[in-house]
Amino acid sequence: MTRGKFITLEGSEGVGKSSNIQFIANTLKALGIAVVTTREPGGTPIAEEIRQILLTEYEEPTLPETELLLLYAGRKQHVEHLIKPALALGKWVVCDRFFDATFAYQGAGRNIAIEKIEQLNQWALGEFSPDLTILLDAPVDIAFERIKHERKLDRFEKEKKEFFEKIRMQYLRIAQKNPHRYHVVDAAKTLVEVQTEIKKCLDNI
Amino acid sequence: MTRGKFITLEGSEGVGKSSNIQFIANTLKALGIAVVTTREPGGTPIAEEIRQILLTEYEEPTLPETELLLLYAGRKQHVEHLIKPALALGKWVVCDRFFDATFAYQGAGRNIAIEKIEQLNQWALGEFSPDLTILLDAPVDIAFERIKHERKLDRFEKEKKEFFEKIRMQYLRIAQKNPHRYHVVDAAKTLVEVQTEIKKCLDNI
């Protein structure tokens, strides 16, 4: 049996990941491909438990390294118990965020050295990597407008804007470094245009 | 202010760790030293949450690497938010199990390559290490008798015996490799003899 393909969808807030993940799954299903959609952090019972710890705000701050170790603890379960077995059965797996999100959010966003993340990634997953990553990219202003519905940004939100600017730049750097698997889609365009673009890169694999 | 000392107590089941951790704390307190006792996995609110995941039996098996990543996620919080701050205030920290337990249980017991644990340990903690580690060592038969109160071992328990034999041997190997910080106490002796021995090695630091 031919191994399925592993597709990840990346991008920061407001770029339309959730609507497009379903579009990708439906497009593939229409071609007769068996599809599993999943998400990170999470994806298996244990990984979802770990996700809960990641999303809970404790009085004790979570150290960036702890966050990273928890992310990879969940990711290891997810890869070995859901993603790889599905691929081995010939299914295609479409995942809402994967390790690139860690490089973007924990690396650029939380200032963990990229080499430290690479070391941990290598430790936990070895060479395992998506076959195709679609990056939905839009200027932070446009993404913010979509979230905020044209509400004025306060000081805290402006800081958040810088944070998302860093995330965006990091995603674009990762895309540039991995042209063999990356496809950057201009998410500032209309949904129809975005989906035409996504369909094109699915046709390519 | 002089930095406090970090003391860890190691050993497998039935060697008397719990009674002796209190003895160490009391001995130090009698000398006018401020003491914090703690344990692994756990020690901070987040690390205790992670401990819960480690101790829960899920239908989905926890992968050895996931277990290791979770252990180090908790350990990082514990070291940075409890152990190091206490030491910096001049307090002595006495910890029931620390990273050596990971090398013994996950390494020898669960067959994770020692180098993989070393890599993760270095990644998370760098050179941070106990000042003194007291290993309570007893032949597995004696430790088992103490737990089992001379009940006959069934087949499953015999397998367990082999498991604890591996743990014991690994602990002894670690002690041999780290003579500068390790003190092996013969836990087959009476409690009074064991405590005399422990007191002697506390006097040395």
pLDDT tens digits in sequence order for chain A, 205 residues long: 799 999 999 998 888 888 899 999 999 999 999 999 999 999 999 999 999 999 998 999 999 999 999 999 999 999 999 999 999 999 999 999 999 999 999 999 888 999 999 999 999 999 999 999 999 999 998 888 887 764 565 565 566 888 889 999 999 999 999 999 999 999 999 999 999 999 998 988 8
Interface check for B118 against chain A (CB to CB < 8 A): the answer is no
- Within 8 A of A58 by CB-CB distance, chain B residues are 45-46, 49
- Within 8 A of B120 by CB-CB distance, chain A residues are 123
Q: Hey, are the CB atoms on B123 and A124 less than 8 Å from each other? A: no
Q: What three-state secondary structure class fits B112? A: coil
Q: What is the ipTM of this complex?
A: 0.92
Residue A190, judged by CB atoms within 10 A of its CB (0-12, 13-18, 19+), counts as exposed
Counted across chains A and B, CB pairs separated by less than 8 A come out at: 78
Alpha-carbon gap, residue B22 to B7, rounded angstroms: 13
Q: Does residue A8 contact residue A130 with C-beta atoms inside 8 Å?
A: yes
Alpha-carbon gap, residue B137 to B188, rounded angstroms: 7
The predicted pLDDT at position A150 comes to 47
Q: Hey, are the CB atoms on A76 and B58 less than 8 Å from each other? A: no
A183: which strand partners? Answer: A134
The predicted pLDDT at position B64 comes to 95
* pLDDT, tens digit, 9 for 90 and up, residues A52-82: 999 998 999 999 999 999 999 999 999 999 9
Q: Which domains does chain B have, with CATH numbers?
A: 6-203 (3.40.50.300)
For residue A153, give the DSSP letter: P
Spatial neighbors of B158 by CB under 8 A, at least 6 apart, are none
Q: Hey, are the CB atoms on A58 and B45 less than 8 Å from each other? A: yes
Interface check for A81 against chain B (CB to CB < 8 A): the answer is yes
Percent of chain A exceeding pLDDT 90 equals 79
Spatial neighbors of B108 by CB under 8 A, at least 6 apart, are B166, B167, B169, B170
Peptide bond into B41 cis (omega under 30): yes
Q: Hey, are the CB atoms on A66 and B76 less than 8 Å from each other? A: yes
With a cut of 70, list the residues of chain B below it in pLDDT. 149-159
* Residue of A65, A7, A22, A32 lying closest to A201 (CA atoms): A7
Window 173-192 of B: residues touching A by CB (8 A cutoff) are none
